[in-house]
Structure 1
Amino acid sequence: MSDVIPETTDILARLIAEPTLSRQPNLALLDYVEALLAPAGARIERFAAPDGSRANLWATIGPEGPGGVILSGHTDVVPVAGQAWTMDPFTLTEAEGRLYGRGTADMKGFVASAIRAALLAARGPLAVPLHLALSYDEEIGCIGVRSLIDALAGRADRAALCIIGEPTSMQIATGHKGKRGLKACCHGVEGHSALAPKALNALHLGAEFILALDAAQAQLRETGAQDPDYDIPYSTIHAGVMQGGTALNIVPNLCEIDFEIRNIAADDPDLILADIRRAADQIAARHGNRFPTARIAIDEVSGYPGLDTPQDSPAVAWLRRLLEPGAGLIKVAFGTEGGLFDQALGLPVLICGPGSMDQGHKPDEYVSRDQLAACDAMLESLVLRLRQGGL
């Protein structure tokens, strides 16, 4: 093991230099992380994607056994194509206390800090283990981490806490909404546009379906459950993509709509979806006498559960003691892998990391040096606690 631990910014520069877009290889990044951690004594496992081009990495520092802490982050980033960057997005660039590059905020800044914390942890005995979980393909629906979580679910050495390092400006987020990503396929009957009334326009079916989604959203907003900890305190329904048709003079027979449900903990997404399916069947049935093949089929494409860790959990109090005075409790609008860890492993999950999602997914994404330093300080305190005995 080297006597010199790299600075977090140096680690971050190497991570940013790897353009680990979702669905693209991340193995070079994992090789770099493993080259740092293995000589320090970390026990490392990989869980590969089916095609072998990407993998999750699980690294453990310290003793075998339960009661440890997981530091979890994803390695993939969103694309830069079509964005007006003023600098190379895959070269870490510093200006006026800000560190720019794709993934600095979401969320390679935390990953870099967690790697440094693991190297610090390796310098002395821990009472309980520190685990580092790095996943792939989070940005497209928390896809990659599931194989890692499945493997951990069968083990006896259950951790006591998982910290997801998504950007929260170093506040503690105890929850986020769940998400279902769905596709509605509206099947009409094609025909010549000069005889359009004799056909069933699938785009028109799609328009009726979007109106039904809007009505369902209005009901959730006006009479549904509310959680005031969120900026939008109710469950939401959103249609993001609608496509269909091939030519102006052809009545289209297919229209596809990509939509989503983001639910607060008090709402069951299955019940929301069941109501949407009933509305879709009713729309198709209105045309059934003339067009028996009319239908709207809905398929689930992606999704992840929400997170709702009780604010009075001992884990919250424990993490607050590691942070600067005044660290608040929040819930975040974006989704994370936290609900999967919570649901499958049954351990408290909290979200806390440097930077703000206001800077994520944008050109000239950045994390401030101050935020990165605050994360380093928190994780240094965490390592000290793990030397003393953990939670």
Structure 2
Amino acid sequence: MRNIYLKSGLGDETYGPPFIFEDDDGDNNNNNNNNTNNVPTLKSANQEAREGVFSSIDELLGKTLIDPQSIDVVIVTCGGFSPSPSLSSLIVNRYNLRSDVTTYNLSGMGCSSGVLSIDFAARVLRGSRKVQNALVVITESITLNWYHGENRSMLVTNCIFRVGCAAAIMSNNPKLFKRAKMELVHSLRTHHGADDSSYRAAIQEEDEKGNTGISLTKDLVRVAGVNLRQHIKILAPRVLPLTQITNYIYSMIISTILPQSKFKPMVPDFTTAFEHMCIHTGGKAVIEQVSRVLKLSDEVTEAAKMTLNRFGNTSSSLVFYELAYFEAQKGKVKKGDKMWMIAFGTGFKVGSLVWKWIQDSTQDCDNPWNDCIHNYPLKVW
């Protein structure tokens, strides 16, 4: 695990669940180096979930001044933890939400589920005039997904996945438009699970000794690249400037007409469509693969690299930590700027969100980068 971690791109300030740092009696003991017998429990998983979910929602409601009674929909995504009562019920109980609130729980969708849950909320809001405010909570559980075996492909998850959570209010209420940070102008989700290698690129299973874990295969990076290319074939014509679209379509036609030639379709320059990009921070190899496929500069991938270094792979919430990185840099994001969020998920899924900033970004009091942004960017790779 140490060898994997040292090559991961993660720094030393990421966050893990409490059980990792406790001795067998559940007491904090920083001098105890023998953590192999620590057993993750339902109690510790609930603690991890409550700390992330409640603190995120508390700060969100405090900033937006949204009355909890005005929330019509609650969407919670957590890939590997599905307690009973559900996490959405936990939120309804904690914040005393209305009895007619509609709740959804998304699970098993991997790191793309944060992007997909925002897309889902937007579809719900577009589908009903009576529904105006949707609370989206994006989290993951490391505790019950900790792998105790020796299979290298499963040990990777212990080394790169870290604790994180994000919450957002989405609204179709025109009275709230000027108070909003961003407007969602486009979303796209593609599913590539019909292909066996894509389906099995990241999969939960048991090792030869019966230990359950999530296996990240060696084919994962290749699969991410192949499916990203398929995804941008659909996305590119919808978001790129006309000149880029024309050149891209022309290159596609030529490559189809002359399949035996060495001519390859051009890679669209997505920096002509977006001022800022939040790229899936699944790991060092994934960021490098996205950079190669899209031909992105180090400046464009900076937010992804720094987020991986500081917070690790927080799974479904990872692109929102990148968003916070941009916000923490004063004057970085201006009114009218467009931002692209792209994330990958098990199955295999690719999700994109395109945002337009309604106002200049500001550094919020609860920005997770507040205590360290002055140290970034670092030379990490």
Between Structure 1 and Structure 2, the one with more helix by share is 2
Between Structure 1 and Structure 2, the one with more strand by share is 1
Q: Which has the higher contact order (CA 8 A, sep 6+)?
A: 1
**TM-score normalised by length of structure 1:** 0.25
Q: Which has the larger radius of gyration?
A: 1
